[in-house]
Structures are given as structure tokens and as C-alpha cells.
Structure 1
């Protein structure tokens, strides 16, 4: 097994030195974002607006960390909540935390999405809060839920403006357990063409990646796990996989 792991590490390092491979994946990311590629997938029947590569990476983190709480900002159709809950269910079957749960926060949980999530078999591990993720009353509810948890994983995927994501990081990142991750999605916005988001308040210079860079200036307890993005190559979260190291 050690030999296999060593060979895998070597392949990952070779990835980023292969200029043709890097260029082709970069071209795919740009082209596929124009086509809303990430909207094409579901998890256990619910739309999950993610790239398959990031779904796999998150699965690896959930298995490695064995969280008893996952905090997610941004719910949309609920696919990510169902995904996290199903991974926690598998962890429990394999001897992990039996009462692990995921909490989702969204400023607008549409009734048809709420109904579908609440009707899903994985809802037994899910709770939802409607409101701004940075509103004091919402933050207080999340902190109450986190108070008795030991291993916490955080996923930030709501409003993608610099100021909002930075406020989310200041609010939720330190709830992350040492050795666990705070994953900031859609940092790829910084690397995409200027005309990609004409109807959104975010864009180049104002997005989750710029918020991550700003946050890390004063929070050395987090480090970007570059190994994950080097392994994936295709990801919406370059520089977004933040590992808490202290």
C-alpha cells in the first residue's frame, strides 16, 4: 500500500508539470462553465451543482476526517446536503459517529426544495436554517449545534462576493476542527473570463478566492492543501481546500 501511495504522489506532482495537461484542463473548465456543466448532475435523486471531481474530493475528506458535524452554507436544490448526509450514513455503517449530522443554511429555501429534502431518506441526518449565513441569529444557532461536536467540516457555497465569503470565513472557519477542512467553493471565479458572470455581483477581483487570500493573511492556522487541486486538475475550488493545521 505504501508503494501505491508513493506512486500516486508522484503522479500528482507530475500532473502540474505537464503543461499540455494543465492547459487542456484549464480550457475544459472555461468552456464547461459557459455550458453550466456543473448543473448536470444529481446525488440520490437531488440536483447537486458541483463538478464530479469535487464531489469525489469531498467524499475523501469526509472519510478521512470522520466528522460528526458538517456545516454547509448554500442549499439550492439540496443535493449537497443529501450527499453529505449519505456519506455520514456510510461512515456510521462502517463504525464512525452514529449521530453525525449536516446543517444547511440558505437565505431562501424554496418550498419545493424543502419538501423534497424533508421527504428524502437521508433527511434524518439533516437540519436546515433559513436566513443569511452571517446574520447573528443564524450564527448563534449554528454555534449551539457545534458546541457538543468534536470533528467539524465546513463547506462555504452561498453568496460568492468577496465581502460575504470573507464574513463567512471569519464566522465559521474557526469552527473547523484541527486536521479537518474548511472548503470554499467557486474560487474558480477569479480564473474565469470577465464576461462569465454579467448578471452576478461577483467576478474577477471580487469572489471567494480573493476572500480566501485575504483571510489567510491573518489566519496562519489554515493552509491551502494544494495537493487536492493538483490531484483533481478540474475543480471549482482552486486554493479553496483549506486545512486547519493548528
Structure 2
């Protein structure tokens, strides 16, 4: 009837207002942070598989990646950090679904300093392996970076996911190499930025800690973009911002301030 709001638009508006409310709710935010800390202490994200392979991620982050992949429909996803392979198999399966829904064909490039033989064998035997390529070596080595840039040549959109060594120096170097590959409207997702906000005893035998982690690297990289500027691989000006709306929606995420969206030209 005339004057009635479209139910789809109404639902989306209600969702938008609800998510904005989460961002203004300090009690809810504090509760989410507390639960995250306790779940991390209990190694909660190590409990899940994707299509038969361990995926060391929070379910909310996996859902966020699904939304991003469907929205962006990347021709290439570059992921640093392979581990058991669940994450790159997840990305490949999302690209398969995008294709089945009439979207473009896409592929995944996984990079890891060490791909253990049993994991490599399982990944290569998986039905999604036809969409996956892998490079073994540190993601910040010149030869690996050169191979990755060559792989990304003439591909668009490109989505980048950084989840390997979580020290400041390493992640900052990854950002310098891989963030310029991100297409306008796409993302560079930097995982484990939560380390900066975590209790000191959560990572006693790791080289990363408060003051030395992915979030500090993100802060420095965004500062460099503002003050010095960077040129993207496509020749455009590289401008990125934290997707605060997505973070408010998730609440539980290992990547607070780590969902970096490249702004359109």
C-alpha cells in the first residue's frame, strides 16, 4: 500500500540502527572484550573445522569474511599464514559459491614460511584445491613478494588477509608489500590485532606482545598513509580506513581495528 515502507529496506534500516547502538553501548562492549579474553585463554578458536580442515578463527570472523568475499567478489585472495589449511580452503569455498551464484571466478594464493608436509598433502587432496596456489617462504622475503605481485598482476578485485607472524616489524612489512594490491572497495584484513588489548600473560612464549603486534603495525601504516601517502599497484592513491561498523556488528573478533577497507577513488 502507498506510504508503507519496503520490508527489506525496513529490515536493513533496523539492522543499521541496532549495530550503531552496539558501538555506543560501553557495557556490551566491555562484556564482549571480557568474553573474548577468557575464550582466548581457553584456546577457543582452535576448536573449529571448515570442510574437514582446522580453521583457527573465531566463528564471527569467519562470518565477516564471508560477507566481505560475497560483497567484493575478488578475483584473487592473498592470505599470509596457512597452518592446517582451513582458512584458505574456506576462502576457496566462498569463491566457489560466488561463482555458482553467477559471480566471477576467483582463486586463493596462500603464503607460509613453512607448509608442513601433512598439511600440504591434505590441502592438495581437497576438492577446493583447484582454486588454491601456495608459496612456501616468508611473506616478506623479496622473492616471495615478487612472486605474489606477479600472481596479482592484472587481477581485480584483490582481497588481502594477513595472519602469519604477528610482530610489529613483520606485519608492517607485510602491509607495505600487500596492502597496495587491495582494490578500491576491497579489504586488507589484519588478524590478531587483539594482542595490543590483551592481558600480558596470554602469549608468554611468543615474540609478540603489547607494543609489538599487528595493531601497532596497523596504526603506523595508517599514519604513513595519512602523512606520506602510498600508491596502489593499480596506480591510484591508496587510502584506507578501519571499518568500524563491521567491528561494532561483530563484537567478538580477533581483528579489532584490523578490517581495513580501501576507499574508492
Residue 9 of structure 1 corresponds to 16
Q: CA RMSD in A?
A: 0.8
Classify the secondary structure of the residue corresponding to 2:149.
helix
For 1:97, the equivalent position in structure 2 comes to 104
Q: Secondary structure at the match of 2:79?
A: strand
Determine helix, strand or coil for the equivalent of 2:32.
helix
SS of corresponding position for 2:224: coil
46, 51, 59: which is aligned to 1:44? 51
Q: CA deviation at 1:17?
A: 2.3
Moved more, 126-135 or 3-12: 3-12
**Residue of structure 1 aligned with 2:209, choices 196, 203, 214:** 203
4+ runs deviating over 2 angstroms: 16-20
For the residue of structure 1 that corresponds to 2:225, the secondary structure is coil
Q: Match for residue 240 of structure 1?
A: 258
2:196 aligned with 1:190: yes
SS of the equivalent of 1:218 reads helix
Give the aligned length: 245
The separation in 2 between residues aligned to 1:17 and 1:94, in whole angstroms, is 36
Give the SS at the match of 1:129: strand
Identify the residue that residue 224 of structure 1 maps to in structure 2: 242
Equivalent residue number for residue 146 of structure 1: 152
Give the Cα separation in 2 of the matches to 1:32 and 1:170.
Answer: 32
Q: Which residue is 1:135 aligned to?
A: 141
Q: C-alpha deviations, 1:14-52, integer Å up to 9, x for none?
A: 112223322221111010010110000010000000000
Give the deviation of 1:148 after TM superposition. Answer: 2.0
Alignment gaps of 5+ in structure 1:
none
Could you say which structure has the larger radius of gyration?
2
How far apart in 2 are the matches of 1:36 and 1:227? 27
How far, CA to CA, are the matches of 1:122 and 1:69 in structure 2? 15
Paired with 2:88 and 2:117, the residues of 1 have a C-alpha distance of: 16
Following the alignment from structure 2 to structure 1, what is the Cα–Cα distance between the partners of residues 89 and 118? Answer: 15
Do structure 1's residue 67 and structure 2's residue 74 form an aligned pair?
yes
Secondary structure of 2:261's aligned partner: strand
Which has the higher mean CA deviation after the structures are superposed, 3-12 or 122-131? Answer: 3-12
Match of 1:56 among 63, 73, 95: 63
Comparing 139-148 and 13-22, the one that deviates more:
13-22
Greater shift, 9-18 or 36-45, is seen at 9-18
Matches within 5 A, 1:121-132: 121-132=127-138
SS of 2:255's partner is coil
Q: 1: CA distance between counterparts of 2:178 and 2:13?
A: 34
TM-score w.r.t. the length of structure 1 is 0.98
Aligned to 1:178: 184
